[in-house]
Each structure stands twice: as C-alpha cells, then as structure tokens.
Structure 1
Amino acid sequence: MKQTLRMDYEPEQVVDISTLTREQWLAFRRLGIGGSDVAAIMGISPFVTSRDLYYDKIGVTPVIEEPEANWVAKEFGHRL
C-alpha cells in the first residue's frame, strides 16, 4: 500500500507565546523538555551540560555567574 504525503498539515499550537514577556516565556519553557534540550540530555551539546539543563529546569541558579561566551549563537537560535 502506497502512502501519500499530506500537504495540508497544520501544526498544533499548544500555547500562544506572542503575548508573553521574555521572563514568562522562559518560565514556560522550564515546565517541560523541548527540542533544544535534547542535545544536552544526550550529552552532545557544545553549549550546556545535562546537569546545567537539570538545574535550569528545577530553578537552581549558579553561585558564580559565568560570562556567557556563546551569546551570539544563543541569540541567533532564539530568533530562528
């Protein structure tokens, strides 16, 4: 049986983030695991470790705030 590709697919929008502030959006992201978190979970992310991701999800803030060396890449990814 041959399957055809559906060209009328509409993605499901779970939450409308267009009205959220940056802080609200970040808080909402911490509620679950997103596609950008998978690389950290797998241990292959050059930007964040799985421990860093875990601490971020449970709300633990680092004692020593390190300067963000990869802010350009993160900003570019965020805008995409």
Structure 2
Amino acid sequence: MKLAIRNAEITDFDSLLGLIKQIQELHSNARNDLYMQTDRPLVEKYYQELLNKDNHYIYVVEETNNREVIAYTILKIETIAGSLIM
C-alpha cells in the first residue's frame, strides 16, 4: 500500500465527513455526557471556511492506487501572547 499526504481540497469533504462520523460515534458511545450523536459532525460551509483561512491547514492521507482518503489532520497555527517564539 502506497500512501501520500496532500493538502485537502473541497472535493474531499465527503471522505472527511465519513472519517469524522466514525470518530464522533466512538466518542458519543463512550462519553454521551460530553458528545452527542449527530449525522453531521462537520458542516460543509465550515469546512470551506477552514480551507480558506490563512492560519488553518488541512491535510489528508490518501491511498495512491485507489485515491481513498484514510486519515486527516486539521492544524491551526497561532502566536500565543508572551511566547518566546515570534
């Protein structure tokens, strides 16, 4: 199996939604006092906004032979007031 990491695209929404649903279900089953069950744990408009923000990065891991997205990460880069690194 060959994998590739790439920037997420708007067309990846359904793949990410499927992965996020799996995670949401695990959380809501284990801790229903903290997580609610939902069919839409990610709204497409919010996903589009994240893709367009300068301080947010979404990466996906894709199986190269069938282009299936099997993992993702969402990063937010921010400067914390008082930090030594600026």
Same fold by TM (over 0.5)?
A: no
Q: TM-score, normalised by structure 2?
A: 0.28
Q: TM-score, normalised by structure 1?
A: 0.29
Q: If you compute each CA radius of gyration, which structure gives the higher value, 1 or 2? A: 1
Higher RCO (C-alpha under 8 Å, 6+ residues apart):
2
Task: Give the number of the structure whose residues are more often helix, by fraction.
Answer: 1
Task: Give the number of the structure whose residues are more often strand, by fraction.
Answer: 2
